Amino acid sequence: MGELADAAPARFLPWASPRLRGIAATVIVLASSAGFAVLVIQALVGPPLTIPARQIADRVALVALVFGSIAAYGGLLTGGVAMAVWTHRCYRNLPALGGRPHIPPVLATATWLVPLVNLVVPWIALQDLAAGSGLFARERLPIHLWWVLWLSASCAWVAGSFVQLPWIGRLTLLHEALLGTVFAPRL
């Protein structure tokens, strides 16, 4: 009975491995990147879609569009949640590693999902994690590169709603290509 009384629940331990959460986030992000790649390839070399799809090439293009969209945008949403969960676990580990967090772990997690706030605060959280992990400033270049790509993809998405119709297709293609590259540096 004494051993059970001394055992603390997992949520109260000072350190817990974020590995499984990181693996799940990486797999989701890979699926999303693959979906965006399919959408970009279909837009570049695929035939124009016609409904009903009578030719085999039209059917393949339609299937690629449907499954590419599901993987890309479904992965984008679930990847955002998975990244927030991974960030929370890593951020809770920060004091055990000797790091000093600038914001509470709950705020570091929630900011991934709050519009406009998610353009800056998650980057600060990732910088805290990098500093707490002992990374030198020059070793943080992948974080900066990833963040620039993320902001570029967001800007392309917003710009797509302000341009005239002939340019929307090009901006959508640029947005999908940038989102595909945004997820690649997480590996």
Q: How far is CA 131 from CA 22, 79, 142, in A?
A: 18, 24, 14
pLDDT digits (tens, 9 = 90+) for 72-117: 888 878 888 888 888 888 888 888 877 778 888 888 888 888 888 8
In a domain, 122, yes or no: yes
DSSP 8-class letter at 9: P
For residues 96-130, one letter each, b for 16 or more C-beta atoms within 10 angstroms of the residue's C-beta and e for the rest, the string is eeebebeeebebbbbbbeeeeebeebbbebbbbbb
11 occurs within a structural domain: no
Residue 12 lies in a domain: no
Q: Which residues contact 187 (CB under 8 A, 6 or more apart)?
A: 26, 29, 30
- What pTM was estimated for this model as a whole? 0.67
Residue 144 lies in a domain: yes
Low-confidence ranges of the chain (pLDDT < 50): 1-8, 185-187
116 lies in a domain? Answer: yes
Q: Which amino acid is at 99?
A: G
Q: How far, in Å, CA of 156 to CA of 179, rounded?
A: 10
Domain assignment of residue 10, yes or no: no
Q: How far apart are CA 187 and CA 177, in angstroms?
A: 17
pLDDT computed for residue 184 by the predictor: 52
Q: Answer whether residue 179 is part of any domain.
A: yes
How far does CA 76 lie from the centroid of its chain? 6
Residue 125 lies in a domain: yes
DSSP state of 7: P
Number of structural domains in the chain: 1
* Under 8 Å between Cβ of 36 and 177: yes
What is the domain extent for residue 74?
A: 18-186
Residue 142: predicted pLDDT: 80
Residue 168's pLDDT is what? 53
Tokens representing 118?
């998610």
C-beta separation of 131 from 95 below 8 A: no
